[in-house]
Chain A
Amino acid sequence: MVGAGSGTEKLKAWTARDAGLVGCRHCTRVSPIGTETCPRCGGGLTSRDPTSLQRVWAWAVVGLLFYIPANLYPMLITSTLGRPQEATIVGGVIELAQYGAWGVAAIVFFASVMIPVGKFIAIGYLAWIVRKPHGHSPKQLLHLFEVVEWIGRWSMIDVFVVAILVALVQFDLLATINPGIAAVCFALSVVFTMLSALSFDSRALWDQIETLADE
């Protein structure tokens, strides 16, 4: 790890914006400020996206709205010898735990309950705190953001499990598994929270720290 980043670590740095330039987030090239598309990769350029926080909140709220029915309605409808049984997300976790499959129960619980709930809290916290000068270390906030961004997709596990079970367990008389409406709600909730995290402009984590240091 030799090179530009070794040694000193600082909060203030000369940014592309300070230099009257706009940096491309797709390919790292810089262009004069006001350029709208990157000459190297053709991506859109914005020095700071003024709508970023609005989009973060909007997607997060829609995601939260879909997360509620995802928990109330059944995820899986299992019929064994003609008797239908419905299981919600939490119901499925409890069932797995009763089998003694603790590890898998933990994975499903983590992916379907802990990650989504934690994500709503973390995104809300980040979007709230970057609006004004804050005394927090931007590096720690960045780590939080990176974790949120990376982990969000893993919530899809439960939707895929439902898909696999539905495809596989089709012994007409003996047993069948059908998807419940919660599977759709949950998938939408994951997609919207991912969009929320992707809308967040990580550069904002540093912007207000600089104002704080300037004062």
Chain B
Amino acid sequence: MAAAPAADTRLDELVCCPVCDALHELGEVPADTRMRCVRCGTVIAVDRPEAIRRIVVLAATALVLMTIVVFYPFLELRTGMFVSRASVFDTVMSFAQGIMAPLSIAVAIFVIVLPVARLGLLIWALGPLSVEREPWPGAAFALRWAETLKPWAMAEIFMVGVAVALVKLADLATLSMGPAFWSFTAIVVITAIKDTQMSKHSIWSALDRARKS
């Protein structure tokens, strides 16, 4: 509940809404309950005991699939005797010449580097917690950056781009999707499921508790 903090209330028990700054005093969050901000309705805490393990498992799966994405063909195009194959890496390099080079770097960062970095940071921050160990050094730093980078990791947007490109090319040539295409689709779905498991307050207090013990 929003309440004026009594003098004896410890700061640890207060939670502020990151969206509107309303102050809440949360005790123990009952299992499978969603706590929303009294004022703006933002979800502040979700207690799902399995959440952290689930996040780590999903992130690890996505990270393994990512290796397939980078090294295997993504799309294949045939017209008569001509065959052209593109991996995600080729797509990234497609702007590499001349003044377009910075765009190549940007696409690489949005589609490969940041999604991989986010997965790696989450595993670093929450991996030890999921098996009830002490967190590794820099866990807080890793978790904070994993969240900060979220809007810039655009794997799912890339997939919609692929769909649009497929339609544009549909009557020019015969297209087939390679293994990388299907792994990438899986990564997008897994990442979306993983992000629904995240609640700032719950994850940060779990990390806090693990650091103190």
Contacts and interface: CB of A to CB of B under 8 A. Distances in A.
Given A11-B39, A14-B3, A142-B40, A165 B20 contact: no
Interface string B88-102: 001111110001101
Given A5-B37, A187-B103, A206-B39, A41 B143 contact: yes
A167 B35 contact: no
| 7 smallest beta-carbon distances between A and B, as pairs | A5-B36, A23-B16, A160-B161, A166-B94, A13-B22, A3-B35, A27-B204
Contact of A164 (B4, B11, B161): B161
Interface residues of B, number: 78
20 contacts: A3-B34, A3-B36, A4-B44, A5-B35, A13-B39, A24-B16, A26-B144, A96-B167, A99-B171, A156-B158, A156-B161, A157-B164, A163-B103, A163-B107, A163-B161, A164-B75, A168-B75, A171-B79, A184-B103, A203-B21
A164 B91 contact: yes
A29 B154 CA distance: 29
A165 to B, nearest CB: 5
B186 interface: no
B17 A3 contact: no
Given A26-B147, A153-B157, A164-B91, A14 B35 contact: no
Given A28-B44, A160-B111, A174-B82, A179 B16 contact: no
Given A8-B38, A28-B17, A153-B151, A179 B94 contact: yes
A81 interface: no
Contact of A4 (B14, B26, B94, B154): B26
Contacts of B143: 41
B38 A156 contact: no
A30 B14 contact: yes
B100 A183 contact: yes
Interface residues of A, number: 74
Interface in B152-179: 152, 154, 157-158, 160-165, 167-169, 171-172
Given A157-B164, A183-B103, A203-B21, A139 B86 contact: no
Contact of B157 (A23, A104, A154): A154
Q: Which of A29, A107, A142 has the most CB of B within 10 A?
A: A29
B4 to A, nearest CB: 6
B24 interface: yes
Contacts of B204: 27-29, 40-41
B40 A42 contact: no
Centre residue among B103, B143, B154, B204 by max chain A CB count within 10 A: B103
Contacts of B40: 138-139, 142, 206
A86 B201 CA distance: 51
Contacts of A159: 103, 107, 161
B106 A187 contact: yes
Interface of B: 1-5, 11-12, 14-24, 26, 29-30, 33-41, 44-45, 75, 77, 79, 82, 84, 86, 90-95, 99-100, 102-103, 106-107, 110-111, 140-141, 143-144, 147-148, 151-152, 154, 157-158, 160-165, 167-169, 171-172, 200-201, 204, 208
Interface of A: 1-6, 8-11, 13-19, 21, 23-32, 40-43, 96, 99, 101, 104, 107-108, 138-139, 142, 149, 152-154, 156-161, 163-171, 174-175, 179, 181, 183-184, 187, 191, 194, 198, 202-203, 205-206
A175 B17 contact: no
